[in-house]
């Protein structure tokens, strides 16, 4: 494979989301989430400049959570305590950032799920991303944002461009499967935390 054909995403470069203790846990370590989310942002950057709004939004929300976490890393080691303490102060600064970060991560999680579970292994990934958007972010977007995103998924790179061919592709798909499964587990746990703390604001933007 020539340098020009190298995949944009090389999954072995990513640590990913650590394995949670069990499927029902809500004990999500804040730093683990932040580090893994940064890796997801790095992956999305490889999609192209049209995805800059998604990248910038995720970065902004990661920074907001980091700002609160950095005030007391020991106390806010777990997301639950961070949300609980912020709520007691009648603030939703980090909570709102977490909500939107979760939704963006859900978009990518479903997109990755669609890729690894497509038995036809279609090279075009537009429908995989469109389906992911419809299932995750679309309900929270007004028509202006929806129309803007319609332009984005028209220009999503192909399967081959993102993940390569041959042995590199096989390795990428194997690692992506594990990455996505652990990512999904984190998102389930985070959703439970958000709902438990009554922070699931469904207002569209």
Domain membership flag for residue 12:
no
Domain membership flag for residue 199:
no
pLDDT digits (tens, 9 = 90+) for 40-72: 999 999 999 989 999 999 999 999 999 999 999
Q: Is 29 helix (H, G, I), strand (E, B) or coil?
A: strand
Domain membership flag for residue 45:
yes
- Structural domain for 115, as ranges: 18-194
Tally of structural domains, the chain? 1
List all residues 6 or more positions away from 5 whose beta carbon is below 8 Å from its beta carbon: 164, 165
User: Given its phi and psi angles, is residue 119 left (phi above 0), alpha (psi -120 to 50 degrees) or beta?
Assistant: alpha
pLDDT digits (tens, 9 = 90+) for 101-134: 999 999 999 999 999 999 999 999 999 999 999 9
Domain membership flag for residue 2:
no
Q: Quote the tokens at residue 82.
A: 């961070």
Domain membership flag for residue 201:
no
Task: Say what percent of the chain tops pLDDT 70.
Answer: 98
* CATH code of the domain containing 34: 1.10.3520.10
Confidence of residue 2 (pLDDT cuts 50, 70, 90): very low
pTM: 0.94
Closest CA to 198 of 97, 99, 89, 58: 99
- Rounded distance, CA 173 to CA 117, Å? 10
Domain membership flag for residue 202:
no
Closest CA to 32 of 182, 172, 137: 182
Q: Quote the tokens at residue 171.
A: 């390795």
């Amino acid at each position: 494979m020539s340098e020009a054909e190298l995949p944009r995403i090389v999954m072995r470069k990513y640590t990913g989301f650590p394995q949670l203790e069990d499927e029902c846990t809500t004990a999500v370590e804040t730093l683990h989430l932040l580090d893994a989310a940064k890796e997801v942002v790095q992956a999305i950057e490889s999609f192209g400049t049209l995805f800059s709004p998604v990248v910038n939004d995720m970065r902004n929300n990661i920074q907001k959570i980091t700002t609160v976490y950095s005030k007391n890393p020991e106390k806010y080691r777990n997301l639950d305590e961070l949300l609980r303490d912020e709520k007691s102060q009648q603030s939703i600064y980090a909570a709102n950032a977490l909500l939107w970060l979760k939704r963006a991560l859900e978009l990518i999680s479903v997109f990755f799920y669609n890729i690894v579970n497509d038995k036809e292994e279609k090279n075009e990934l537009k429908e995989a991303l469109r389906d992911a958007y419809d299932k995750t972010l679309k309900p929270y977007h007004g028509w202006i944002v929806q129309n803007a995103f319609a332009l984005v998924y028209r220009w999503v790179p192909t399967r081959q461009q993102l993940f390569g061919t041959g042995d590199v592709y096989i390795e990428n798909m194997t690692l992506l499967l594990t990455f996505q499964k652990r990512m999904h587990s984190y998102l389930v746990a985070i959703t439970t935390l958000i709902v438990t703390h009554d922070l699931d604001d469904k207002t569209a933007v």
